[in-house]
Structure 1
């Protein structure tokens, strides 16, 4: 027997807008999130949210730090954490959120 699930708030069902952002469920399923510090997870969420369809963002570091209420040292460590885990690429001023690799690909 299958249980049918219904939305709690039918007037607030999430829709993917034409200028979309999304978070790949492999972030959790393939345990990528477990390798991130909290600041790195916050930075990743920000970059996924503001990135275009190719994952590109031109937000400057100062602007990102201000929006995330993050100090420069924590911000740089977060960026390094994401780069080392193969989740973003960065060449100032451009950020790119990368396709998540499967755990066995690493």
Structure 2
């Protein structure tokens, strides 16, 4: 079948800060294993994720953007984790590859929590992200 653009002036172009939805989500029927809410959260996560599928969003922020109560965010996330589409370790989300894993996934390492910080202590975003990537908060 020959395809032509229906509205050439509105042709999609990949922006610099691109994201994508893997077609295998539909072709391999991953989509059928999730609720509509879980799929809405998945779309949000693939849209905001970096090239490795990582994003940092608190439940409250996601709930506000999607117009949901936080409990609905948690339930949708649980569905995505159960379906093997995302991994979550607060506040870090990872949208997972749809490639079948060659070995059983290893749970994230549990790091001891650092000593409590003084209330109101200011930290740079860089410090917070570095500590999060190292498994500390």
Normalised by the length of structure 2, the TM-score is 0.70
Q: How far 1:101 moved relative to its partner?
A: 3.3
Task: Determine the C-alpha separation between the residues in 1 that align with 2:6 and 2:18.
Answer: 23
Task: Determine the C-alpha separation between the residues in 2 that align with 1:100 and 1:65.
Answer: 26
Task: Determine the C-alpha separation between the residues in 1 that align with 2:61 and 2:44.
Answer: 11
Task: Determine the C-alpha separation between the residues in 2 that align with 1:59 and 1:98.
Answer: 16
Task: Determine the C-alpha separation between the residues in 1 that align with 2:58 and 2:24.
Answer: 27
Q: Which moved more, 1:30-39 or 1:67-76?
A: 67-76
RMSD (CA atoms): 1.1
5+ residue gaps, structure 1, are none
Higher relative contact order at CA 8 Å, sep ≥6: structure 1 or structure 2?
Answer: 1
Instruction: Report the secondary structure of 2:97's partner residue.
Output: coil
Instruction: Report the secondary structure of 2:22's partner residue.
Output: coil
Larger Cα-atom Rg: 2
Instruction: Report the secondary structure of 1:90's partner residue.
Output: strand
Task: Determine the C-alpha separation between the residues in 1 that align with 2:68 and 2:24.
Answer: 26
Higher helix share: 1
Provide the residue aligned with 1:63 in structure 2.
61
Provide the residue aligned with 1:25 in structure 2.
23
Flag as ranges the 4+ runs of structure 1 deviating above 2 A: none
Task: Determine the C-alpha separation between the residues in 2 that align with 1:60 and 1:20.
Answer: 22
Normalised by the length of structure 1, the TM-score is 0.89
Q: How far 1:100 moved relative to its partner?
A: 1.0
Task: Determine the C-alpha separation between the residues in 1 that align with 2:36 and 2:72.
Answer: 10
The question of 1:74 aligning with 2:45 is answered no
Q: How far 1:47 moved relative to its partner?
A: 0.2
Instruction: Report the secondary structure of 2:94's partner residue.
Output: strand
